[in-house]
Amino acid sequence: MSEPEVVRRPDGGALADAIADALVERTNAALAERGVAHLVLTGGGMGIAALRSLRLAAERGSLDWSRVHLWWGDERFLPTKDAERNETQACEALIDHIGIPSDHVHPMPASDGMDGDHVEHAATRYKRELTRAAHGEASVPDFDVCLLGVGPDAHVASLFPGLPEVREDEASVAAVRNSPKPPPRRITLTMPALRSAREVWVLASGEGKAEPVRLGLAGGSTDEAPVAGARGRERTLFWVDEAAAARI
């Protein structure tokens, strides 16, 4: 696993723009090398701000969306098009405005989908979708970049300190029933799935993220600070504004 590198920008707006430009560059490189790119999106303030910036950055960088696949690191288990779903916010910020094939957008199931209100069944469905897109014995596709927001409690995706899903070390997807961050029910990639990505980018803006950023860089107990386990196979970047960098 790669040791984390820090990329600093003055404020949230500059940070979102820098993340977007780097994501276009990384995605174009993946397309040149392998003809396809798999990106994992995240929710939260900086996660969605980066997608808003990505819309224009992709135009500037002539990104060919027709060979890109979009996945999610986690999702709030709510009805389709609910304003609080990460997918809804990603569509408003980016996906509804780009020419990406609809079968290249892989949202996690909604609570009114084919599995109804069964979050475990929905998690299993996503696990199967990931495996179908994987190569060989892998259980998930070859993710190029996994974006992760980080919570004030140092959670990433919907892996929260002390909850059992953080310790899941085999399955690629888990159902969460008691998230401390509303809503309580979520679907999340597990640590092994997140860490299978070539690159993991942690996005942190604001003084409330200074301590989780310090914990993430220190690399301590993943159970106590899941962000400490946010590492990519080839590269790990912590994208921070000056407020979130205050304890580095």
Ligand X SMILES: O=C(O)[C@H](O)[C@@H](O)[C@H](O)[C@H](O)COP(=O)(O)O
Residues forming contacts to ligand X in the complex (CB under 6 A) are 42-47, 74, 76, 86, 149-151, 156-157, 181
Shortest Å distance, C-beta 205 to ligand X: 7
CB-count exposure of residue 76 (10 Å: 0-12, 13-18, 19+): buried
Residue nearest to ligand X (CB): 149
CB-count exposure of residue 169 (10 Å: 0-12, 13-18, 19+): exposed
Nearer of residues 47 and 232 to ligand X, judged by Cβ = 47
Helices (H), strands (E): how many in the chain? 6, 9
Nearer of residues 156 and 166 to ligand X, judged by Cβ = 156
* DSSP structure string for 182-221: SSS-EEEE-HHHHHTSSEEEEEE-SGGGHHHHHHHHHT--
Q: Which residue has the tokens 């929710």?
A: 43
Shortest Å distance, C-beta 153 to ligand X: 9
Shortest Å distance, C-beta 161 to ligand X: 12
Nearer of residues 64 and 211 to ligand X, judged by Cβ = 211
Shortest Å distance, C-beta 148 to ligand X: 7
Tokens encoding 180: 């401390």
Nearer of residues 44 and 141 to ligand X, judged by Cβ = 44
Query: Do the strands 235-241 and 145-149 form a parallel or antiparallel pair, or are they unpaired?
Result: unpaired
Shortest Å distance, C-beta 114 to ligand X: 21
Shortest Å distance, C-beta 87 to ligand X: 10
Nearer of residues 75 and 129 to ligand X, judged by Cβ = 75
Query: Do the strands 186-189 and 173-176 form a parallel or antiparallel pair, or are they unpaired?
Result: antiparallel
- How far apart (Å, rounded) are the C-alpha atoms in residues 199 and 141? 13
Check: CB of residue 13 under 8 Å from CB of residue 48.
no
Nearer of residues 36 and 113 to ligand X, judged by Cβ = 113
Check: CB of residue 216 under 8 Å from CB of residue 201.
no
